[in-house]
Amino acid sequence: MKLRLLLWVLGMLLKRALRRKAGFRDRLAEMRHLDWGIATENLAIARYYRMSPGGIETGPGLPVDLDLELRFEDADTAVQVLKKPTQKAFLDGMMAGKVRLVGDAGDLQKLQGLLKHL
């Protein structure tokens, strides 16, 4: 339940940043769009985010056409990493086999650059 709430709040924060923060809007305009999602490995908890300069759409589940997916071993691991989403936390999780990246690592760097503006 904690992870579901965290992912929902993340969607609200992204929409708020798009409305209020010029740096976020500019960075997103450079990228044009980024479709990404977060889920547990068993897909029991999953949420996607479709971001473009025109708006941000979010919803439950993981569509198959996403640019980037972050898959976590379980909900507790996801909450732990997402509370402090540093590069070191992601790398440590990947090395330990608790975090799996599906997609391009360059998209992860773009996403981290955007999340700095939250």
Q: What is the pLDDT along the chain (118 residues), one digit of tens a residue?
A: 799 999 999 999 999 999 999 999 999 999 899 999 999 999 999 999 999 999 999 999 999 999 999 999 999 999 998 888 778 888 898 999 999 999 988 888 888 888 888 8
User: What is the pLDDT at residue 113?
Assistant: 86
Torsion sign across C-alpha atoms 86, 46, 93, 50? negative
The whole-angstrom separation of Cα 81 and Cα 2 is 13
Architecture (CATH level 2) of domain 2-115: 2-Layer Sandwich (3.30)
Contact 89, 58 (CB under 8 A): no
Strand partners, 114: none
Torsion of CA 15, 106, 78, 44, to 10 degrees: 80
User: What is the pLDDT at residue 91?
Assistant: 86
User: What is the pLDDT at residue 87?
Assistant: 80
- How far CA 97 is from CA of 70, 92, 110, in Å, comes to 12, 9, 22
User: What is the pLDDT at residue 117?
Assistant: 84
Contact 49, 16 (CB under 8 A): no
Render 79-102 in DSSP notation, one character per residue: HHHHHS--HHHHHHHHHHTSEEEE
